Structures are given as C-alpha cells and as structure tokens.
Structure 1
Amino acid sequence: MFERFTKDARAVVVLAQEEAARELGHRHIGPEHLLLALVQDAGPAGRALRGHGLEAHDLRSRLARTTTGGDPLDPEALRSIGIDLDAVRQAAEESFGAGALDAPPGRWRPGRRSHVPFTKGAKKSLELSLRHALRLKHKSIGTGHILLGVLHDEDNPAVSILKTSGVDVDALRADVTRLITSEAA
C-alpha cells in the first residue's frame, strides 16, 4: 500500500515514527502520532489542521501527558502536600515555554533504529486513507487522505484530542476534502 503514498505522505509516516519514539518515548505509533506529524505538513492536511487552531507544540504536549499513562507528575499526591500542579505548570510554561514540565524524551539515540509498531488504530487509519483516495478517484494517497483516514474513526485517540481541543471534526473533514479535491483538479 505504501507504494501509492506520495513523497509527502511517506514523510508524514516517518515523522510520526520519529515523534512517537524520539520525541515522546512511546513504543507504538498510533493515530495520535499521525495527527502530530500531519499538523507539521505543509500540504492540505497541515493547512487544514492549523486552520482549525492546532499547533504541533500543543499536540506534542498533550500527547506527552495523555498517552504515557497519564500525567507523569501525580496531581493528587502533590495536592495532598499543598502543591497545585496546574498553577506550577502554568508558571513553568510562562517562564520556559509550552511543555516545560512534560516527561523528557525517550531513550531514542541517533543512529539507533528500532522497530516501532503501528497500533491497530494507526493501521486502520492508513488503510482508510486508501479508501478515501479511491472514493475521491485519486490515483495516489496524500497527506489529506491520511488525515481523512485518521478522522474516519470517531473512537481513536486522535479524534478525542481534536474534540477536547475544541475542533469541529466534521468541519475539519469538509475543509481537508475541499483542499485535496481542489489540488487534484
């Protein structure tokens, strides 16, 4: 199937792997990692996502807190000794930037390649990207098709992140479809 992916779509899949393993220290590639890579894309997927207010640093920060089994800092334990983690996080981010208290990157080292498997959800998203390309009568799979594949399943973590970010998923679907259809014309 990857032979039908455009150069940019392949680059997004590679970036999702790098984000998952190197930046976040995760041992899998899920739809949420595809979403993080897509928001960095210069093509229709990235333009649509950024047009809906999404930014890579914010998504990366959310993923660092949500897909590693929760916040690595224990809010209840800190609250029991009089520390308000939300206030500490806000002050740290005001001083040092977004994600200042997030868990450090994983043990990925340059030159050391290890297999990072796709979750069932990521595989399904990539398979659905092919279906969306075929539905739109496109010969290749681009980044916009990958985004449509990710958005197709309402139950995956990427869609949950979008919804909690205040994104209208139906409007995002319509925007990316419009962008990829106009580019193909």
Structure 2
Amino acid sequence: MFERFTKGARGVVTGAVGHSERTGADTVTDEHLLLALLDQRGTRASFALAALGVTGRRESLERAFAEARRRGGLTKADADALAGIGIDVGEIVSKVEEAHGEGVMRVGRGPKRWWSGHRGFAPTAKATLEKSLRIAIGRGDRHIGDEHLLLALTARPGLVAEVLADHGATYATVERAMFGGLSEAS
C-alpha cells in the first residue's frame, strides 16, 4: 500500500514516526499522524486545516490529547457515557493519581526497546492508513495523498476525530475545504 502514497503522504507517515520517537510513545498513533499533518506545508490537507482554523490551534489540540492520555485514552464521549451511569472519570483519575502518582494512567507512558530499529503502528493508526486507501479508491484516485489521511482521521471514530470535530474539522467540513463540496464517497 505504501507504494501508492504520494510524497506528501509519505512525509506524514515518516513525520508521525518522528513525533512518536520524540515523545517516547510505544507506537505510532493517530495523534502522531495528525501532528505530522499539521507540520506539512503547501499540501491539500494543510490548506484545509488552515482554512478551518485548525493549524493555528495546535496547542489546543495538544492539550486535548494530553488530557485524554491522562484519562487513560478515553474520549470525552466515553467519559460522558460513563457519567451517564454514575461513573465520574475525573474523580477516578484524581483518586488513582493521589494514590499512585500524577500521570499514572497516561497511555503510552514508557518507551520500549526497539530491537528491530522500527517503531510499530498502533492498531488504530493501521486502521486509519487502511481507511485512507478506501477513501482514495472511493474517490477514484490512484494515489493516497495527505488529503486521504486527513479524511480518514475524521472518518474513524475515536479521540483524534473527536478533538478535530471540537475544533471545527469534521469529515464534511474537511472534504468541503479540500474539494469544494460533498462527494458520493461520503
């Protein structure tokens, strides 16, 4: 599949690996893919992110990801669902941190030894890469570009899609910003 990636999409994947390494994460995640997309300049996805005002709000995105990692990776929707049955995630996190130390529930805490020299991709990141292929095929494109990666991040449920939506970047708004309207693929 990687041979179908454009130069920009390959740059996003290698950038995501770099973000993962710098943060000491166990694997490359969707969060790293998004951060690498935000690093890109002059691409269709970078223009869409800028048009939607996401590029200028990187710190807000990173704070949202940090808070979710502190909650053990739970999205706000997950926390709200648990609150609906009487479970206060914030209170649980506070009590666990009080007993065991701050950040103890944080996801991806410790670096692993990389005997092969390659950093693995989390199952969610692999699924996003596969989704980008499906989106490209659905659009009739013969390549996978950074625009397909961005659409895949907004199309798959999870933390990154939720944070992007909170910042005004849903599948529909991203597609509209990149292609000027909704397509049959959506």
| TM-score where L is the length of structure 2 | 0.65
Q: Cα gap change, 1:162/1:149 in structure 2, threshold over 3 Å: closer, same or farther?
A: same
Q: Cα gap change, 1:54/1:113 in structure 2, threshold over 3 Å: closer, same or farther?
A: farther
Question: Which of 152, 155, 159 is 2:161 aligned to?
Answer: 159
Matched with 2:118 is: 115
Matched with 1:25 is: 24
Matched with 2:39 is: 40
After TM superposition, list the pairs within 5 Å mapping 1:8-157 onto structure 2: 8-22=8-22, 24-42=23-41, 43-55=43-55, 56-67=58-69, 69=71, 114-153=117-156, 155-157=157-159
AA matched with 1:139: R
Maintained 8 Å contact 1:31/1:122: yes
Maintained 8 Å contact 1:44/1:176: yes
Q: Deviations over 1:50-72 (max 9, x none)?
A: 221113344334334433556xx
Deviation at 1:39, TM superposition (A): 1.8
Deviation at 1:10, TM superposition (A): 0.4
AA matched with 2:64: R
Q: Deviations over 1:23-50 (max 9, x none)?
A: x332122212111111222201111112
Maintained 8 Å contact 1:41/1:47: no
Deviation at 1:117, TM superposition (A): 1.8
Q: Cα gap change, 1:119/1:66 in structure 2, threshold over 3 Å: closer, same or farther?
A: same
Over the matched positions of the two proteins, sequence identity in percent amounts to: 32
Matched with 1:97 is: none
Q: Cα gap change, 1:133/1:61 in structure 2, threshold over 3 Å: closer, same or farther?
A: same
Unaligned ranges ≥5, structure 2: 73-92, 99-109
RMSD (CA atoms): 3.2
Deviation at 1:142, TM superposition (A): 0.6
AA matched with 1:120: P
In structure 2, distance between residues paired with 1:16 and 1:125: 13
Maintained 8 Å contact 1:144/1:177: no
| TM-score where L is the length of structure 1 | 0.65
Unaligned ranges ≥5, structure 1: 81-105
Deviation at 1:121, TM superposition (A): 1.3
Maintained 8 Å contact 1:29/1:116: yes
